[in-house]
Amino acid sequence: MRFLLLFSRQGKLRLQKWFTSMSDREKKKIIRDMTTMVLARQARSCNFLQWKDLKIIYKRYASLYFCLAVESQENELLALEIIHRYVELLDKYFGNVCELDIIFNFEKAYFILDEFLMGGEIQETSKQIVNRSIEASDMLQETLEEYMSKPAF
Partner 1 sequence: MPAVSKGDGMRGLAVFISDIRNCKSKEAEVKRINKELANIRSKFKGDKALDGYSKKKYVCKLLFIFLLGHDIDFGHMEAVNLLSSNKYTEKQIGYLFISVLVNSNSDLIRLINNAIKNDLTSRNPTFMNLALHCIANVGSREMAEAFASEIPRILVAGDTMDSVKQSAALCLLRLNRTSPDLVPMGEWTARVVHLLNDQHLGVVTAATSLITTLAQKNPDDFKTSVSLAVARLSRIVTSASIDLQDYTYYFVAAPWLSVKLLRLLQSYPPPEDAALRSRLTECLETILNKAQEPPKSKKVQHSNAKNAVLFEAIALIIHHDSEPTLLVRACNQLGQFLQHRETNLRYLALESMCTLASSEFSHEAVKTHMETVINALKTERDVSVRQRAVDLLYAMCDRSNAKQIVAEMLSYLETADYSIREEIVLKVAILAEKYAVDYTWYVDTILNLIRIAGDYVSEEVWYRVIQIVINRDDVQGYAAKTVFEALQAPACHENLVKVGGYILGEFGNLIAGDSRSSPLVQFNLLHSKFHLCSVPTRALLLSAYIKFINLFPEVKATIQDVLRSDSQLRNADVELQQRAVEYLRLSCIASTDILATVLEEMPPFPERESSILAKLKKKKGPGKLPDMDDSRRSVNGSTEHSENTDTTNKGSTHSFTDVLNLNSTPSSGASLLIDVFSESSAPPAAIDVSEENFPRFVCKNNGVIYENQLLQIGLKSEYRQNLGRMYVFYGNKTSTQFLSFSSSSPPQLNVHPKAADPMIEGGAQMQQILNIECVSDFRDAPVLNIQFRYGGTLQNIAVKLPVMLNKFFQPTEMMSQDFFQRWKQLGAPQQEVQKIFKAKHPMDTEVTKAKILGFGVALLDGVDPNPANFVGAGVIHTKTTQVGCLLRLEPNMQAQMYRLTLRTSRDSVSQRLCELLSDQF
User: Which residues lie near partner 1 (CB under 8 A)?
Assistant: 13, 15-16, 20-21, 23, 28, 42, 44-50, 52-53, 71-73, 75-78, 80-81, 84-85, 93-94, 100-101, 103-108, 110-111, 114, 118-129, 133, 136-138, 140-142, 144-145, 148
Query: Beta 64-71 vs 117-118: how paired, if at all?
Result: unpaired
Least gap, CB of 85 to partner 1 (angstroms):
8
> Whose Cβ is closer to partner 1: residue 148's or residue 153's?
148
- Contacts for 91-95 with beta carbons within 8 Å, 24 or more apart? 92/127, 92/131, 93/131, 93/134
d(CA 87, CA 148): 34
> Whose Cβ is closer to partner 1: residue 33's or residue 138's?
138
**Paired residues of 55 in beta bridges:** 50, 70
Least gap, CB of 153 to partner 1 (angstroms):
18
